[in-house]
Amino acid sequence: MKNNETESRGAPSRRTFLQRLTSGVIGLGAVLGSWPMFRALVPNVLYEPPKRVRLGSPGTFQNGMTYLEEHRVFLLRDGNSYSAVSGVCSHLGCTVKFAPFEQSRQLTVRDHEFEALGEFHCPCHGSKFHGDGTNYSGPAPRPLQWHHLEVSPKDGSLVVDLALGVERDFKLVV
């Protein structure tokens, strides 16, 4: 009698309250239980920055070495010839610094002759690399990576492919 009175005034009875609570718990359990199934419908995608990057018009780069901090790449220009070497140390991935020579030097490293404007030093654990990227001191196990360059047919800008490695003597002549 009292319950009816309570319900008639709009407040739920104890039974109604327990029914709703049970329904809520069951509903929540169903949602949580099926979460892995819904999650499996969403692919595991790793969002990474693009690997092919437009650097700008070739003519805008000065002769010599230019560090492109955003991409951790050194762009080397020698007249109309361009090449790009990674600034990522092959030891644990710190960014190497370019240490220019007072005067360029003719070097032969691993049977490759080239004119070196300087060399690369890693500030983290002291690895050193010749100007052609070859590691010669410290814990770095491999040379620095050279990257493929091309000119975009759309607008003539230089495009570096950070996922595509090339030999250290690769040069793009524009």
Query: Which residues sit at the interface with ligand FES, rule CB under 6 A?
Result: 89, 91-92, 94, 122, 124-125, 127, 138-140
Alpha-carbon span 108 to 123, nearest angstrom: 25
Indicate the residue among 85 and 122 with the shorter CB distance to ligand FES. Answer: 122
Indicate the residue among 118 and 138 with the shorter CB distance to ligand FES. Answer: 138
Indicate the residue among 71 and 91 with the shorter CB distance to ligand FES. Answer: 91
Shortest Cβ 135–ligand FES spacing (Å): 9
| Secondary element (H or E) of residue 163 | strand 158-166
Alpha-carbon span 169 to 16, nearest angstrom: 80
Shortest Cβ 93–ligand FES spacing (Å): 6
CB distance 56 to 89 below 8 Å: no
Shortest Cβ 173–ligand FES spacing (Å): 32
Indicate the residue among 75 and 96 with the shorter CB distance to ligand FES. Answer: 96
Alpha-carbon span 83 to 74, nearest angstrom: 8
Q: How far is CA 21 from CA 3, 17, 18, 114, in A?
A: 18, 6, 5, 79
Indicate the residue among 29 and 93 with the shorter CB distance to ligand FES. Answer: 93
Strand partners, 83: 76
Residue 52's nearest CA partner among 134, 170, 152 is: 152
Alpha-carbon span 130 to 82, nearest angstrom: 18
Shortest Cβ 123–ligand FES spacing (Å): 8
Shortest Cβ 48–ligand FES spacing (Å): 21
